Structure 1
Amino acid sequence: MTLLARRGLAAWRRSLQVRVVAGTLVLSTVVVVLASWMLLRQVSEGILQEKIDSSIVEASSDLRSTKVTIDAAEPTGDTNRVLLDLSEDIAMRARTSGLYEVGVRIVKPNGDDVPPVAEATMNTPLVWSVPDDLTRSLRIGQVSYRFVSLVRTDGSMTPNLVIGSQLRESDTNATFNLYYFFDLRQQQDILDLLQRSLIAVGSLLVLLLGLVAWFVTRQVVSPVRMAREIAERLAAGRLDQRMRVRGEDDLARLATSFNQMAASLQRQIRQLEELSRVQRRFVSDVSHELRTPITTVRMAADVLHDARRSFDPSIARSAELLQNELDRFEALLTDLLEISRFDAGAAALELDDVDFRPLVRQVVDAAQPLATRKGSRLVLDLPDTACVAEVDPRRLVRVLRNLVINAIEYGEGRDVEIRVASDEQATAVSVRDHGIGLKPGESAMVFDRFWRADPARARTTGGTGLGLAIAMEDVLLHGGWLQAWGSPGEGAHFRLTVPRRPSEPLDHSPIPLVPDDARRPFAELTASPENAESPGAST
């Protein structure tokens, strides 16, 4: 039952057609029930009122005849004899009409009926019992009625209309209560038939309305579902998918507009892809072509740099600047060549089981001179046990070096904290600085190519703006995450997470993305495990 409820709830949430049909059925049922109840009530009141009117006419006519009989009877002085004569006379008329059955009782002086020995029922098949409120309401010359259910002598229960009145015999001064029983089985049968008919017709009407709602919604929902499926295929890269156009109605125009949009997107995406290919080819070709002249220039620059002490001081300084700028230029060429390999899909991993702790110490030792010049202290937090994962150590060192150098450069001379942690599924390294931090939205752009947090900032290391973009590509090759958190004035926190084995899925990190000492824990983050552990959202 729980499984069926879950499936029904899922269908209700996902299917517009199910909600429309279910809503139509519920509203139709309510309308049909209300309409049937009002119709049945009106018909019932009409049938019963007609029966009451005709029955009162019959009872009043018999009462007048009975009154004439009593007035014309010879005085006997015997109340029981009067009762028997009256009963025989009424019974004869009741058998003649066949419309009712009659009961007669003598009333005591205090107004109550006498015991059953002083009553006559004229061989009626009813075990009759008159409601007390009807007996108390009877007056001489007046007629009252009630609806009752009486038991017949065969044990069946039948609905009846009981009409009562009183007569007085002048000779004995006795008062008689006369009760006329009109059978309502025929009216009850008519109402039962009407009720069954209303239920059958109402159920059929609700079913037909549900079918109509299903058919109508299907005509509308089917194109929408088709558009959703085509949109999913377009999102999956199948740009040649189109909707079928039938007719000239609004849905056909929607399909036409959708196809035009898809064609425009396909054309623009292909143009962008072609432009991107040209750009990547240009970068790759230029990077390779510049290698030869740069090598020649490097050789000449090395000669000048080695002989700079024999030059005039201004020329010697120029030789030093030439050497430094050639270093930066070669670094840029190296990064561009690496990016072109990623774009061409030529990058490959040389995997090995590596303990992260020695790699982190190696990177920290290499960055220590820069940290000393910037006035920053490198703080290591390494576990006692090995933090092993199957990675490419060359690429991993490059990623860690980029993270540590950036933290020192933007750390404003404050401490830079490097932490390593591992569990059964993943190994992580985090680098935290307490410098200028990242502004809102910058954590999503920090891994873009040539993007810099502060372009106007004086930078001593001469970065190319490609370091974090290359680091991201290296991490994605391992099936891992490279994520950033930052807040102005609180610094930045970068977290590298890789699975212990590249084939294993990654759904969490041993290190939280938001630092424990952050005053605003959700100021800026990208794909933190507390929010959305998704490798695709790490940038």
Structure 2
Amino acid sequence: MRKGPRRLWSKALLAGLRFTSLRLRLVVVFALVALTAAVSASGIAYWLNREAVLTRTQDAALNDFKEAMQDRVASLPRDPTKDELDRTARNMAHGSQGYSVLLIGENPDGRTVVGNSELDAFTLDDVPGSLRKAVNEPQSADSHGDSGGDGDYHLFWQRKVEDGTPYLVGGTRVMGGGPTGYMLKSLEPEAKDLNSLAWSLGIATGLALIGAALLAQAAATTVLKPVHRLGVAARRLGEGKLDTRLRVSGTDELAELSRTFNSTAASLEKKVADMSAREESSRRFVADMSHELRTPLTAITAVTEVLEEEEDSLDPMIAPAVRLVVSETRRLNDLVENLMEVTRFDAGTARLVLDDVDIADQITACIDARAWLDAVDLDAERGITARLDPRRLDVILANLIGNALKHGGSPVRISVREDGRDLVISVRDHGSGIPEEVLPHVFDRFYKASASRPRSEGSGLGLSIALENAHIHGGEITAANSPDGGAVFTLRLPHDASDVLPGDDDEADAEACPEKRRGKDKGPGDCDGDGTAQQAKKADR
């Protein structure tokens, strides 16, 4: 129970990410650019301010220490006492820079004397060894230390960090054997100021990033809103709503794209309207022509039936002509019936009249009505039933079996099986099979496999009508070649076609067969495709 909502939420999240992927990319790009610029600017500003603050503090402390050494330490005796050194160190430390002082000299006995501004606060151990070495190394009067000092004093300094607190350590000595002085200044206030500056720059960077994201969102909305409208309009156009147009405003590239879309949609609407009008005119012409031909064909058919019955008493010179007239009349009648059936499919007026059908009985009845029992092998169990249109199923079977007998070779084998919710009927012949280049076109209307044989006994619409009847059931027909030789037509139909039934059965029956609408019931062969009614009559005779 807990997986369902989570899965739905994940799908919704993924759909949202897909929908706004371009928006996200724009926001990310804007944010990265802003972040790079802000971090670069903040880093440069921090580095410049850090150097300025540290250099200013360092120079002030070192200059003050240097002056104190010049004014105070240089005036001490050559062999100062500890009290003198302590007093001088305290006086030096009381300056404005606030550093600790350590003075080292020698008394008359040659022992080292140390003076400290703060007892045990600053000892020689706090001075880095490298700095002590530089201070104690003999220097010439005109040499320069790290600080660039000149005159009699050579000032050296170094920064160090101890327990997380930065310090500045400086040292020098009075030339000519005078005392050596060291100073220690805490840089913690400056470090706090620099930390505050870093936090300020970080906050400014974050604000810049947020501002860039908001600007990117606004820019993406401005740019993508017309694109979204264009996508919606394109989907509506793809759904067949050819009157879809976009509102055009502005003179930018997106406005030009909208104008191009509107122009394309208008041109497409006009062309589709013209094609639909021509198609409707052609379909109406075929339907009208077929209906108009039925009346004279009925009279001609009656005459040919009479002539056929009197064939034995006719002059032998006339009999072949009579047989030709009878054959061609039947063929023309088949063509008219098939054309009417095709126009019903094209117009969308073909409907199903469903009934419960025993498949084995239906196939047997189809074969028996056409006298094909000796040429067809049936492999179907009794009791397999389906809810289908019996008349249209008979049309499908008659066309598939008749095509197999005409173009393949007997025996034709029919097998019936159930595949889940579908019913599968296979019709296989023992001929040479269907050429590979012909397979994609076997269900095309009026398609001829050989251009040298433009005329055949059929109308060229049988397999097309069979496929349309399968489609109206929600099924399909496929054609292939059997590995053992011969062609195989596979009919797949649902067990229950009620889901695709669009309307009332009686109305559908009347629309599907105009003869019933006129109150005529001509039997099971009426309204079949490809001459099945005439084949049934001939079989009866």
Q: TM-score, normalised by structure 2?
A: 0.73
Give distance in 2, aligned partners of 1:132 and 1:21. Answer: 52
How many angstroms apart in 2 are the aligned matches of 1:106 and 1:388? 121
**Whole-angstrom CA distance in 1 between matches of 2:371 and 2:103:** 123
**Are positions 1:180 and 2:183 aligned together?**
yes
1:405 aligns with 2:402: yes
Q: CA deviation at 1:428?
A: 2.5
Letter in 1 for 2:16: A
Cα pair 1:363 1:400 within 8 Å, conserved: yes
- Say if 2:350 is the partner of 1:347: yes
**For residue 90 of structure 1, what is the aligned residue in structure 2?**
89
Matched-pair contact (CA < 8 Å) for 1:352–1:390: yes
Three-state SS of the structure 2 residue aligned to 1:223 is: helix
Q: Spell out the pairing of 1:67-466 with structure 2 (5 A cutoff).
A: 68-69=74-75, 72-74=77-79, 82=82, 85-103=84-102, 120=116, 122-123=118-119, 130=126, 134=130, 137-140=133-136, 143-150=156-163, 158-164=165-171, 178-363=181-366, 382=380, 386-411=383-408, 413=409, 418-431=414-427, 435-439=433-437, 443=440, 446-457=442-453, 462-466=457-461
Match of 2:29 among 11, 23, 26: 23
Task: Find the residue that maps to 1:337 and give its secondary structure.
Answer: helix
1:40 to 27, 46, 55: 46
State the SS of the aligned residue for 2:95.
helix
| Pair 94,211 (structure 1): closer, same or farther in 2 beyond 3 Å | same
Q: Give 1:497's match in structure 2, choosing from 488, 492, 498.
A: 492
Q: Which amino acid aligns with 1:296?
A: A
Judge conservation of contact 2:131–2:157 (CA < 8 Å) in 1: no
1:425/1:487 Cα in 2 relative to 1: closer, same or farther (>3 Å)?
Answer: closer
TM-aligned CA distance change 1:482 to 1:120, over 3 Å: farther
Partner of 1:10: 15
**Distance in 2 (alpha carbons) for counterparts of 1:135 and 1:370:** 119
**Aligned letter for 2:167?**
N
Residues in 1 aligned to 2:51 and 2:485: alpha-carbon distance in whole angstroms: 82
Q: How has the CA–CA distance of structure 1 residues 251 and 311 changed in structure 2, closer, same or farther, with 3 Å as cutoff?
A: same
Moved more, 31-40 or 362-371: 362-371
3-state DSSP class of the match of 1:97?
coil
CA distance in 2, matches of 1:400, 1:432: 12
Instruction: Measure the CA separation in 2 of the matches of 1:269 and 1:486.
Output: 38
The share of aligned pairs that are identical, in percent, is 33
Is the 1:354–1:390 contact (alpha carbons within 8 Å) kept by the matching residues of 2? yes
1:387 CA displacement: 4.1
Distance in 2, matches of 1:327 and 1:498, equals: 31
- How far apart are the structure 1 equivalents of 2:422 and 2:391? 19
Contact map agreement 1:242 1:259 (CA 8 A) in 2? yes
Report the Cα offset of residue 355 of structure 1: 3.7
Cα shift readout 1:73-96 (whole Å, capped 9, x = no counterpart):
446xxxxx53x5423312211112
Gaps of 5+ in 2: 1-5, 107-111, 137-153, 501-541
Structure 1 residues 207, 419: closer, same or farther in 2, change over 3 A?
farther
| Residues 73 and 88, structure 2, Cα contact 8 Å, conserved in 1 | no
- 1:463-478 residue pairs with structure 2 within 5 A? 463-478=458-473
The residue identity in structure 2 corresponding to 1:159 is P
Deviation at 1:297? 1.4
Task: Decide whether aligned partners of structure 1 residues 489 and 500 sit closer, same or farther in structure 2, where only a CA change above 3 A counts.
Answer: closer
1:432 is displaced (CA, Å) by: 5.3
Letter of the 1:88 partner, please give it: R
SS at match of 1:420: strand
Distance 1:21 1:62 in 2: 60
1:145, CA displacement in angstroms?
0.4
Corresponding residue SS for 1:239: coil
Amino acid at match of 1:219: T
Contact 2:334 2:459 in 1 (8 A): yes
Q: Which has the higher contact order (CA 8 A, sep 6+)?
A: 2
Contact kept in structure 1, 2:304 and 2:325, CA below 8 Å: yes
Instruction: Give the AA of the match of 1:436.
Output: I
Alignment check: 8 A CA contact 1:284 1:340 kept: yes
Residue aligned with 1:286, SS: helix
1:313 Cα offset (Å): 4.5
Instruction: Indicate conservation of the 8 Å contact 1:102/1:124, yes or no.
Output: no
CA distance in 2, matches of 1:417, 1:62: 121
Does the CA-based 8 Å contact 1:12-1:19 persist in structure 2?
A: no
User: How many residues are aligned here?
Assistant: 470
Matched residue of 1:435: which SS?
coil
The letter of the residue matching 1:18 is: L
Alignment root-mean-square deviation, CA: 4.1
| Code of the aligned partner of 1:421 | R
Residue 484 of structure 1 and its aligned partner are, at CA, apart by 5.0
